[in-house]
Structure 1
Amino acid sequence: MSSQPQKYPESVYDFTVKDAKGNDVSLSFYKGKVVLIVNVASKCGMTNSNYTELNDLYRKYKDQGLEVLAFPCNQFGDEEPGNNEEIADFVCTRFKSEFPIFDKIEVNGEDASPLYKFLKTGKWGIFGDDIQWNFGKFLVNKHGQVVDRYYPTTSPLSIEVNNPRIRNSRCSSSLRFSWDSHA
């Protein structure tokens, strides 16, 4: 009896996650887009500023191919106690967020989401492996590779989405960001 070798994920596109309604979502859906992945919480001191700025960033760049993917997590100070329906209602009602909210997950420890285990495998220096708090952010290029990681206190609006490491694109010109022409 032979067993197939387990394929190690090469990009975020190799993952399937659950949305807030429990449906499977293949992250390959986001191929050709720049993605900002964020662990979120509804009752954190950084909730208002982060959701407001994530919304601003998303509205500004969504038509150019930016996606924000929000993953609720209750591992930090019990600041995301609600169920998926309550979380989605809170985010959509209070902040009018249009970006997708996914299933509540764990980002650290033995039960961490496989996606987050992958995200944390980069060489992040002072960050170490663990997510420090709510609103840790990962910037993923158009090829599904993590190109940067940001502290929870980093303002979403301060993230340099025109980072030259994410400009190289194999996708069609209709999916190119307007900042692709910037040096």
Structure 2
Amino acid sequence: MRNIDLLHNLPWLELGPTEEVMGRIEQHISTSRGDFYSVYGPAGCGKSRFMQELSRRLDAYENIVARDIVAGEESIFKQVANMLETSEDESEIIARLKEVPPTGLKMVLLVDDADKLGNDELSFLYRVKERINKINHHANIVIVLFMDLNNQDIFSKELLLHSNSYTIG
């Protein structure tokens, strides 16, 4: 059994200030006030558990579909392609997402261990989000990245400057 599956079955504990961050992100996503978020924290502070609880809360909304991705298990290209039942080719992924009727349905990609993403994978997620949201004129795709603050490499990823950032733990 994967660690992410084990975490999903744990009881949720109130996290104090972390609960405020979760509430803010949940509210922003549910009211379409943003489409790119990053949550930072030291190793072991509960980012994966935070992601699981956010996923559970977002799934309670009729117009939101939350999907968990774990960086480093398989390529991001493959995980997104598998979700959409298409190939790993970026143009085919975008074509598949264009097929989804503009019903107001929002797909939220929650990416755990996102600090392990290479610039190519991070750029891929951002490009897909931007293209689909531009076509539909609103946030159909939302990305939430969960990253280890101890990984100094994250600070070299300029694209993260576009995200709404929060620190927990």
TM-score exceeds 0.5: no
**Bigger Rg over Cα:** 1
TM-score (norm 1): 0.31
TM-score (norm 2): 0.33
User: Structure 1 or 2: larger helix share?
Assistant: 2
